[in-house]
Copies of this chain bind each other. A is one copy, B any other.
Amino acid sequence: MAMKVALLGCGVVGSEVVRLVNEQSGELAARIGTPIEIGGIAVRRLDRDRGVDPALLTTDATALVTRPDIDVVVEVIGGIEPARSLMLAAIKAGKSVVTANKALLAEDGQTLQAAARDAGVDLYYEASVAGAIPLLRPLRDSLAGDRVNRVLGIVNGTTNYVLDRMDSLGAGFTESLEEAQALGYAEADPTADVEGFDAAAKAAILARLAFHTQRVTAADVHREGITGVSAADIASARAMGCVVKLLAICQRSEDGESVGVRVHPVMLPVEHPLASVKEAYNAVFVEAESAGRLMFYGAGAGGTPTASAVLGDIVAVTRNRLANTSVGEGAHDTGLPVHDMGQTITSYHVALDVADRPGVLSKVAEIFADHGVSIKNVRQEGTGDDAQLVLVSHPAPDSALSGTVEELSVHPMVRDVASVMRVETFQE
């Protein structure tokens, strides 16, 4: 009895899934004990050559996902609708679902999960975060007996490529983005990547899994992109032994009663394992109570790597089906709420263009103190009218830090706030 797969969408990822299933059919069948077959592929238009058997194509996706001979539905069309309705119809018809749809999972994963649980089918989505890197399954299964305190991830290859070029070539943001676009690492409209929307969706998915809380959606994620990162920021980071990375950060609060989820540029010490993640690679760093520090690294995107993750999920569904079970995530929800960015504890790097006059540092230090922010170190660069004060704070609530910067930015002694960026520390 073959395992029959219905595919929704036949773009970059979908066509690779078809190719891998066909090329490896013998090996896969031997490995899992039953063959996997593509039973049908729903597309919007039939008149395009997709390099797949045209007899498999249909424009009636609803009929395909409820077809009695279909065992598992693979959704790679993306977006909220019709993806959600089709997956819910499939689940209702008793089909397991494999999806790479981060936007939908981040916005409304709860609905899909509840439906899968009620129907006793599997819902797997390894490909939705960090492409081929096995990450969600380890978080869900291997670390199920541990307590995750923090997740730091480079989960968007485009922005990592752009920042890496800015760092290694001293290039500006626009120039680096154009190069990324020319090489196919960035899309013509790069908004979803460079403004952090893509990373924010993945951050929400990671937070839900890491902290076993269904409460986190993309809307709860504090999001800042990299369009404001300047060559001066990169140089300032370098002067401190840091690189700039766009990180997705999911963190349990000190009291353990809430979680913070955010995406923003960070100055990261070069000793940190994430600092050496180059080009468009992804990596996720996990801090767990017992397991300690873990890192998962690999290709975060691309048709073939993403298809590999989809295929891994299809195999898992098949094994469960053969064992006549579905091993889900469990209905348990810690219900941990998400706290505001203002309550999140962070550290700031602030570079201020100031007049090199007596009393400036004292005034600046006073403003930090007024907001309850303690200064970790300060250095002055240049002299006279070109003086720059570079300050790094100790950890403090983000609202106190942003309040400090706001006051500094309008103070007459400060000509310009040249650079503001959050800093992560790292102790080996």
Q: A residues touching B (Cβ–Cβ < 8 Å)?
A: 16, 20, 24, 27-28, 30-33, 126, 132-134, 137-138, 141-147, 212, 273, 276, 278-279, 283, 288-299, 302, 304-305, 307-312, 314-316, 319-320, 323-327, 330-332, 334, 428
Contacts and interface: CB of A to CB of B under 8 A. Distances in A.
Contact of A304 (B132, B290, B295, B311): B290
Copies in the complex: 2
B312 A144 contact: yes
A334 B309 CA distance: 22
Nearest to A136: B142
Nearest to A276: B276
Contacts of A324: 325
Given A147-B27, A298-B293, A288 B276 contact: no
A146 B308 contact: yes
Contacts of A296: 294-297
A288 B312 CA distance: 12
Contacts of A126: 142
**Lowest 6 CB-CB distances: which A-B pairs, in order?**
A145-B311, A134-B142, A134-B138, A132-B291, A290-B308, A294-B298
A315 B428 contact: no
B24 A312 contact: no
30 contacts: A20-B290, A24-B145, A33-B331, A132-B288, A132-B290, A132-B294, A134-B134, A141-B312, A141-B316, A143-B312, A144-B315, A145-B311, A145-B312, A145-B315, A146-B311, A273-B276, A290-B304, A290-B308, A290-B311, A291-B304, A292-B299, A293-B299, A294-B296, A294-B299, A295-B295, A295-B297, A296-B296, A319-B327, A319-B330, A325-B325
A310 to B, nearest CB: 8
Contact of A305 (B24, B291, B307, B327): B291
A316 B24 contact: no
Given A133-B294, A295-B298, A323-B327, 10 more contacts: A27-B147, A132-B288, A134-B134, A137-B138, A137-B142, A142-B309, A291-B305, A292-B304, A295-B295, A295-B297
A77 to B, nearest CB: 20
Contacts of A134: 134, 138, 141-143, 294
Nearest to A319: B327
Contacts of A289: 308
A300 to B, nearest CB: 10
Contacts of A323: 325-327
Contact of A327 (B31, B311, B327): B327
B146 A334 contact: no
A184 to B, nearest CB: 16
